[in-house]
């Protein structure tokens, strides 16, 4: 009883589920490439990290960004360019992508945090659309063609990423590091302030917190981690195109996060996995993917608003309350 | 030296405070001095501009005209979070808590900044355990120690308000602004809150908006009466309650 905090109070019911899920998940991901097509898995991991980074902002700070494609796709361009044109090794190229996304995030965040709610979303959308048209016009992005034939290279000069298992475990490591970083931020003293801002912004101000600074910091962190996902994707798939900076991508990551459950660590991963799996399954069929994801989204909103994982948590909590 | 200390020190003062809302003058030419060690009440009929004055003093609203000084420094154009860091803490009319955090975490959030534990995004929440003893002390002082692990949103209305006061006190403010601290409370809770306010006012200044005139009469040593955004009268309870204008405008039928 001595140090029962919010996390521990909840951990009694949800933490157990979460821990089991995490262990099972990591084991499954390590074993997965022997059973499932690795390219598909890597796509899933990249989008899962993207959704987790987005959730850091939406779920834990309460800010709905409609412009995260700029960070995801922007980082993809930066690292693809560095790897292909400058011949940078993959680790340096990815790092550049992350830094680029962070700078973009600082600029966009600087303007966006001045407004709240829907206006915040509109500003992020407008700025990301500006970035989209910049990418369309700029020379280094290759315009409509994008940057193709990006070499995967040799990681740290020893791991040849053209070997399928090497690249898979590299992506898995990046994914785990990224998700751990998000988990760390959320469960840190800083994360506590973010949560208090989400809960009651005026109260946080009256306690002396300059909420703008915290929001901007969260925005930059989220952008950088979204950039990590985008840069990794560019190295894996060996290209960067306009698809990744288009507004549809911003919408897709919102969908993934809501579907899985905002404000949970596992939710966005499940949501991303589901959406990517659907896209892959339906890619070969006649049925349009967008209609399928749209229907699923509607069902989700109507039946379980907390998202898949959010709903599971709520049930576990209710069971726990009934018992105790 | 002691002679200087005996004179009540003005810690928060406003001169010629004014606020317009698109042509409507909500607060007009308000002068106010809040003294260290005193409890100052701001009363007046509904719509008199009490909460607006509060929002102006705490800088949640920018004044249209006038000047505000906190501890001798001009804060007329200082952002609200900075004003809070300078030692002016406030509570809200609608109880302002963090509903999905535990009661203990509500208080610890307020303690984090002064202990420098608010930017560490790389450290575990365990470091916040250092704040727990102080947070528990504050919860004990308002009688909430048994609720520490509950979610703040699950507390009863009266206990939410008390939690808000504990959170405000965690800032150890020099000036405490309480917006209707006993509003909507049952009789027992009012007594508890009155005692809390009395004890915390000893080494700081308190300015409170209050409707309960029994509480005002019991607690406050200076009263400013607002009506239609302007100061109608100011003085101790005796002076104010015997003022003809105040009696007709506000107290006449109810009290004295």
Element (H, E) at B233: strand B230-235
Q: What's the CA gap between B25 and B179, in Å, rounded? A: 21
Indicate yes or no: CB of A196 within 8 angstroms of CB of B125.
no
Place of tokens 């003809």: B244
pLDDT at A323: 52
Q: List phi, psi (to 5°) of A120.
A: -60, -45
CA B60, B65, B69, B73 dihedral sign is positive
**Mean pLDDT of all residues in B45-72:** 92
Q: Is residue A274 part of a domain?
A: yes
B166 to each of A240, B106, B112, B162, how far by Cα in Å? Answer: 54, 9, 14, 6
Indicate yes or no: CB of A7 within 8 angstroms of CB of B125.
yes
Q: What's the CA gap between A157 and A86, in Å, rounded? A: 16
Task: Provide the CATH number for the domain around residue A257.
Answer: 1.10.3470
pLDDT at B131: 92
pLDDT at A320: 65
pLDDT band at B2 (very low <50, low <70, confident <90, very high): very low
Q: Is B62 strand, coil or helix? A: coil
**Mean pLDDT of all residues in B107-120:** 89
Where b means 16+ CB within 10 Å and e means fewer, B210-226 reads bebbebbbebbebbbbb
Q: What's the CA gap between B167 and B170, in Å, rounded? A: 5
pLDDT at A3 over 70: no
End-to-end Cα separation, chain A, in angstroms: 15
**Mean pLDDT of all residues in B124-145:** 90
pLDDT at B236 over 70: yes
Q: Is B143 strand, coil or helix? A: coil
pLDDT at A2: 41
Indicate yes or no: CB of A3 within 8 angstroms of CB of B122.
no
Q: How many domains does chain A have?
A: 1
Interface of chain B toward chain A, CB-CB under 8 angstroms: 58, 60, 79-82, 84-85, 89-90, 92, 96-102, 104-105, 108-110, 112-113, 117-125, 127-129, 132, 148-149, 151, 167-168, 171
| Span of A73-77, A81-85, A147-151, B130-134 with lowest mean pLDDT | A147-151
The residue of A203, A222, A310, A314 whose CB has the most chain B CBs within 10 angstroms, and thus the best one to mutate to test that interface, is: A203
pLDDT at B255 over 70: no
CB B254, CB B45: distance < 8 Å: no
Q: Are strands B39-43 and B222-227 parallel, antiparallel or unpaired?
A: parallel
Q: Is residue A6 part of a domain?
A: no
**Mean pLDDT of all residues in B225-239:** 89
Q: How many contiguous H segments (helices) and E segments (strands) does chain A have?
A: 14, 2
Q: Is residue A201 part of a domain?
A: yes
Q: List phi, psi (to 5°) of B230.
A: -120, 155
**Percent of chain A scored above 70 by pLDDT?**
94
pLDDT at B107 over 70: yes
Provide the token pair at B135. Answer: 């947070």
pLDDT at A293: 77
The mean pLDDT of chain B is: 88
Q: What is the DSSP string of B78-138?
A: --HHHHHHTTEEE--SS----TTSBHHHHHHHHHHTTTT-SS-SSS-GGGGGGGHHHHHHH
**Mean pLDDT of all residues in B244-251:** 75
pLDDT band at A14 (very low <50, low <70, confident <90, very high): low
pLDDT at A134: 93
Q: Is residue A9 part of a domain?
A: no
Q: Is residue A222 part of a domain?
A: yes
DSSP tag of A142: T
pLDDT at A71: 97
Q: Name every residue whose Cβ is closer than 8 Å to that of residue A288 and which is 6 or more positions away in sequence.
A: A282
Q: How do residues A20-68 score in pLDDT, each as one tens digit?
A: 878 888 999 998 888 888 899 999 999 999 999 999 999 999 999 999 9
pLDDT at A296 over 90: no
pLDDT at B193 over 70: yes
CB B56, CB B68: distance < 8 Å: yes
pLDDT at B203: 86
- Max mean pLDDT among A188-197, A266-275, A288-297, B92-101 falls in A188-197
pLDDT at B101 over 90: yes
Q: Name every residue whose Cβ is closer than 8 Å to that of residue A196 and which is 6 or more positions away in sequence.
A: A203, A204, A207, A209, B98, B101, B109
Q: List phi, psi (to 5°) of B156.
A: -70, 165
CB A174, CB A228: distance < 8 Å: yes
pLDDT band at B1 (very low <50, low <70, confident <90, very high): very low
Of B79, B127, B148, the CB nearest to A189: B127
Of B219, B218, B223, residue with least CA distance to B240: B223
CB contacts of A199 in chain B (<8 Å) are 98-101
pLDDT at A7 over 80: no
pLDDT band at B251 (very low <50, low <70, confident <90, very high): low
DSSP tag of B146: G
pLDDT at B237: 86
pLDDT at A19: 80
Instruction: Please give, rounded to a whole number of angstroms, the shortest distance from the CA of A196 to a CA of chain B.
Output: 6
pLDDT at B166: 92
Indicate yes or no: CB of B104 within 8 angstroms of CB of A4.
yes
pLDDT band at A12 (very low <50, low <70, confident <90, very high): low
pLDDT at A95: 96
pLDDT band at A116 (very low <50, low <70, confident <90, very high): confident
CB contacts of A6 in chain B (<8 Å) are 100-102, 105, 151
User: How many contacts (CB atoms, under 8 Å) link A and B?
Assistant: 116
pTM for this prediction: 0.88
A287 to each of A110, A291, A300, how far by Cα in Å? Answer: 42, 8, 20
Which structural domain range is residue A179 located in? 17-27+39-323
pLDDT band at B246 (very low <50, low <70, confident <90, very high): confident
**Mean pLDDT of all residues in A155-177:** 89
DSSP tag of A147: B
**Mean pLDDT of all residues in A220-238:** 96
């Amino acid at each position: 009883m001595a140090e029962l905090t919010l996390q521990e109070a909840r951990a009694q019911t949800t933490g157990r589920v979460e821990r089991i899920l995490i262990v099972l998940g990591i084991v499954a991901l390590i074993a997965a490439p022997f059973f499932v097509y690795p390219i598909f898995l890597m796509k899933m991991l990249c989008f899962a990290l993207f959704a987790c980074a987005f959730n850091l902002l939406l779920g834990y700070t309460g800010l709905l960004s409609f412009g995260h494609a700029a960070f995801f796709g922007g980082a993809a361009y930066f690292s693809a360019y560095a790897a292909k044109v400058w011949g940078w090794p993959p680790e340096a190229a990815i790092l550049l992508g992350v830094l680029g996304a962070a700078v973009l995030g600082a600029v966009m965040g600087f303007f966006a945090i001045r407004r709240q709610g829907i206006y915040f979303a509109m500003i992020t959308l407008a700025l990301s659309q500006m970035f989209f048209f910049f990418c369309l016009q700029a020379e280094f992005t290759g315009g409509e063609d994008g940057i193709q034939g990006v070499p995967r290279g040799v990681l740290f000069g020893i791991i040849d990423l053209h070997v399928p298992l090497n690249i898979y475990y590299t992506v898995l490591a990046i994914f785990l590091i990224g998700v751990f970083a998000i988990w760390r931020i959320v469960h840190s003293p800083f994360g506590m302030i973010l949560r208090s801002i989400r809960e009651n912004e005026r109260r946080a101000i009256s306690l002396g917190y300059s909420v703008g600074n915290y929001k901007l910091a969260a925005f930059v962190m989220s952008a950088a981690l979204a950039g990590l996902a985008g840069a990794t994707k560019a190295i894996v798939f060996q290209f960067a195109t306009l698809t990744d900076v288009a507004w549809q991508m911003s919408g897709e990551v919102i969908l993934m996060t809501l579907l899985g459950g905002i404000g949970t660590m596992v939710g966005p991963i499940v949501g991303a996995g589901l959406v990517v799996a659907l896209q892959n399954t339906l890619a070969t069929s006649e049925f349009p993917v967008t209609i399928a994801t749209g229907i699923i989204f509607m069902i989700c909103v109507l039946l379980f608003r907390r998202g898949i994982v959010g709903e599971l948590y709520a049930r576990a909590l209710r069971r726990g309350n009934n018992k105790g | 030296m002691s002679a200087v200390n005996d004179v009540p020190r003005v810690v928060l003062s406003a001169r010629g405070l004014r606020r317009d809302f698109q042509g409507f003058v909500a607060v007009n030419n308000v002068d106010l001095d809040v003294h260290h060690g005193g409890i100052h009440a701001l009363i007046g009929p509904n719509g008199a501009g009490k909460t607006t004055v509060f929002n102006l003093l705490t800088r949640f609203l920018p004044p249209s005209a006038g000047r505000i000084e906190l501890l001798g420094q001009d804060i007329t154009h200082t952002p609200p979070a900075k004003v809070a860091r300078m030692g002016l803490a406030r509570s809200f009319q609608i109880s302002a808590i963090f509903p999905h955090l535990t009661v203990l975490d509500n208080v610890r959030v307020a303690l984090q900044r002064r202990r420098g534990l608010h930017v560490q995004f790389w450290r575990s929440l365990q470091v916040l355990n250092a704040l727990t003893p102080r947070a528990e002390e504050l919860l004990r002082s308002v009688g909430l120690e048994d609720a520490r692990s509950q979610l703040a949103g699950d507390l009863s209305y009266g206990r939410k308000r008390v939690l808000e006061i504990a959170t405000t006190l965690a800032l150890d403010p020099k000036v405490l602004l309480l917006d209707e601290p006993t509003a909507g409370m049952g009789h027992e809770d009012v007594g508890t809150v009155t005692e809390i306010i009395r004890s915390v006012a000893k080494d700081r200044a308190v300015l409170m908006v209050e409707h309960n005139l029994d509480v005002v009469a019991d607690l406050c040593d200076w009263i400013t009466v607002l009506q239609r955004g302007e100061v109608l009268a100011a003085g101790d309870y005796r002076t104010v309650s015997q003022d003809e204008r105040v009696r007709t405008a506000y107290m006449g039928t109810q009290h004295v």
